[in-house]
Amino acid sequence: MSLSRMWDLLTGRDRRAASSIDWDARYGTDTRSTVELHGLTIAHDSRRFGERYQASDPSALADAVAFTGLDPRLHRFVDLGCGKGRMLIVAAELGFKSCVGVEFAGELAATAKANVAAAGFKTISIVHGDAGAYAFPEQPFVLYLFNPFGKPIMERVRDNLAKLRRAEYYVIYKNPRERRIFDEMPTLRYLGPPPAHKGVWGVHVWAPRGA
Ligand SMILES: C[S@@+](CC[C@H](N)C(=O)[O-])C[C@H]1O[C@@H](n2cnc3c(N)ncnc32)[C@H](O)[C@@H]1O
């Protein structure tokens, strides 16, 4: 097995991800370059648990949605740690009812707003704030995470999910370093990775237990 194939298997990298290089050209957005958090304006204690900005491959969400068979038109989409907002635009393209991104770094939240304006989708909104404080909607939704933060914040997210009374939700988690939190949630059942995104750093999906 070649080294590059081994790397793909570990990271869940889909070769179609090469298309993400051109992705920004579609709407004139700026989502591609990685940004370290030091030097950014972050007015939250959770700063020390945050991971740097790095964009997901657009195919990660489309493939995960196809894998579950869920109907985006019946679900809201929430990206905790949305960075520059790429996955919100991908979700809007897929037809999600509404798309909310939460981002704690002021500069990234501002870029996300500019990108969303450039793409022209009215169904997307950006919350500039801490993901650990986000109150989920009491309506069906998909929670998207790309290794955004460490355990203390993920535990707050879990506690906020546990407050829900009616809403059913899927979790799509790329590079799921805190996956045990979702494995242990009684409301969820682990579905696995979409075929093109296997690997410990790949995309992993949980569905509502009843679905
Ligand atoms: C790996 S990037 C993922 C970006 C985007 N979700 C995507 O998939 O393209 C993680 C993002 O989470 C943000 N982040 C980290 N901790 C956060 C927190 N507590 N609240 C909100 N955003 C946070 C970072 O600033 C960064 O933009």
Segment 158-195, tens digit of pLDDT? 999 999 999 999 999 999 999 999 999 999 999 999 99
For 113-126, how does the pLDDT look when each residue is reduced to its tens digit (9 = 90+)? Answer: 999 999 999 999 99
| Edge-first strand listing for the sheet containing 188-192 | 124-128, 98-103, 76-80, 141-146, 169-174, 203-208, 188-192
Residue 205, CB half-sphere, CA atoms under 13 Å: how many?
23
- The residue nearest atom 5 of ligand 1, judged by CA position, is 82
Residue 101 Cα, ligand 1 centroid: separation in angstroms?
9
- What does DSSP assign to residue 53? B
- The residue nearest atom 23 of ligand 1, judged by CA position, is 81
Domain ranges in the chain are: 3-208
CATH superfamily of 3-208: Vaccinia Virus protein VP39 (3.40.50.150)
Residue appearing with tokens 């996956």: 179
Whole-prediction pTM: 0.93
Q: Is 108 in the pocket of ligand 1 (CB under 6 A)?
A: yes
- The residue nearest atom 13 of ligand 1, judged by CA position, is 81
